[in-house]
Structure 1
């Protein structure tokens, strides 16, 4: 357990150093908001799907199918809990005018940008394989539940189309085809996919650093509601999730893999989607900034607690 915590802390330090590169690039005007947006598009549309596809480039094993289904079940539990808490605390007819943005910040984690590099460092391709289930379900809910929260005019057909055709579900479907059938990705395309997948950590962290450089961190840490949402996202919900997982027959790797994804900071998508649909995206931006910084402390603490209690 101690070795895993050391690896986790070391990886988080490396990730923050990479964020510093993005931060400095913006300050030196090597990178601007448009460039960061273009990098984000490349990451979410090309690099992240390649990570998922690459993680499925392995021989079929019924035990892995069982693990993947268990990971999907854990994801549904974790995200279902977050949705229930979000709806209970931030009611449409309550005092929170930006209730939809707060629900988004509570429900959706940065399971791609932050969780995947940590899973890769701790458990290699097996961790990425399990983490792909969280990403796929996260994307389905983001494009269906998330969009419906921010845009009340979304039709049922649009929700269904968004839930089915998005980078997370499409890459998972492609990966499953190669994993469940005798088909293999030819060597040269497979090498290309592997190279692109290896870009995930540096590109994601540089984008996050560029994103943080454009935030007024002083104002972020002065917003009491940001602390409230951040506490829910980083501490309260992960602790409840851990308690539930400890009641289930999960091995430590599966439990910790799902916990890292569930304990990740607020998703950048909350801010980006809020800006697209005209909601209080500035609040989501502050929540992303504060939760990302504080997650350097909370994620190792949650995993350490998981090891102490569950072994």
Structure 2
């Protein structure tokens, strides 16, 4: 318990450093945009590949397949909770689509993978990365459809769902299934790059939230309600269903931790691209991210994950 809180505290400090750098204008939006692309296309990719290259995986092929199906079910469960959330929270028309997205889609990449690595070790990152496939396909299809409820938004494009981490996940699956050995030079290089993923990812989240006012983020009651749905209701429902089927404690813990992550920053980006106001969604992501630093270790401890 103490070790977990220490790891979460480290992540909070890294996130806070990124936020302070943005608020103090040490770096600008263009820097964060470039850093986000670098983290997404290089460091997260290295973290995913590092989890399987020349590693003695305790995960069997059948467990990986079962885990992928369970991760897909987890994403679908969160999607269902997100769909009904505007009705439960009594959100007015015009905001319902964005609230559905914010509750449905968690920050599995920038937040989830570093968390899983910190709690369960690098070996669990490969398993966690399998969530990229259903997550991206549903985010850019159903997620964008949520934004079109008032006639806004673009149609689903398959190319939008295929990003670099998803490709890295498919490559990692091939390496895992066929047990492809890699030269030590490549192994060491990938491991070295992957080691920078956690601090850069957390600072990147902090930088992206730097435009949000602390005062504004903490005064809206319905943002707390949204955060409760995303951070508490969703992972508890996921755990309740999954614990009947998943016996491996690391796999169960990984699934629940991913489902307990705060709303994805990409929800705000997609909302802005589809004609929505990004202010409230940015505040929601900020509040949700801050509160997750409390809720995730509590869930892991209470559920004995």
TM-score, normalised relative to structure 2: 0.89
Corresponding position: 1:245 with 2:242: yes
Whole-Å Cα distance in 1 between the matches of residues 159 and 209 of structure 2?
A: 32
Whole-Å Cα distance in 1 between the matches of residues 167 and 122 of structure 2?
A: 19
Going from structure 1 to structure 2, the CA distance change for 1:223 and 1:284 (only over 3 Å counts) comes to same
Whole-Å Cα distance in 2 between the matches of residues 66 and 113 of structure 1?
A: 27
Is the contact made by 1:260 and 1:303 (CA closer than 8 Å) also made in structure 2? yes
User: What are the equivalent positions in structure 2 for 1:13-52 lying under 5 Å apart?
Assistant: 13-52=9-48
Aligned with 2:94: secondary structure?
Answer: coil
Whole-Å Cα distance in 2 between the matches of residues 284 and 171 of structure 1?
A: 29
Is the contact made by 2:144 and 2:153 (CA closer than 8 Å) also made in structure 1? no
Unpaired segments of 5 or more residues in structure 1? Answer: none
Higher helix share: 1
1:170-194 deviations in Å (ceiling 9; x for gaps): 1111112222225333333333322
* 2:5 maps to which of 5, 9, 13: 9
2:160 matched to which residue of 1? Answer: 162
User: What are the equivalent positions in structure 2 for 1:19-168 lying under 5 Å apart?
Assistant: 19-58=15-54, 63-90=59-86, 95-150=92-147, 154-155=154-155, 158=157, 160-163=158-161, 165-168=162-165
Is the contact made by 2:74 and 2:259 (CA closer than 8 Å) also made in structure 1? yes
Give the paired residue count. 300
Whole-Å Cα distance in 2 between the matches of residues 17 and 58 of structure 1?
A: 32
1:230 matched to which residue of 2? Answer: 227
Aligned with 1:213: secondary structure?
Answer: coil
1:61 deviates by 6.2
Whole-Å Cα distance in 1 between the matches of residues 74 and 246 of structure 2?
A: 16
Whole-Å Cα distance in 2 between the matches of residues 30 and 52 of structure 1?
A: 30
Is the contact made by 1:226 and 1:290 (CA closer than 8 Å) also made in structure 2? yes
Is the contact made by 2:84 and 2:100 (CA closer than 8 Å) also made in structure 1? no
Whole-Å Cα distance in 2 between the matches of residues 110 and 199 of structure 1?
A: 18
Unpaired segments of 5 or more residues in structure 2? Answer: none
1:246-275 deviations in Å (ceiling 9; x for gaps): 222422211111111000111111112212
Is the contact made by 2:110 and 2:201 (CA closer than 8 Å) also made in structure 1? yes
TM-score, normalised relative to structure 1: 0.88
Corresponding position: 1:284 with 2:281: yes
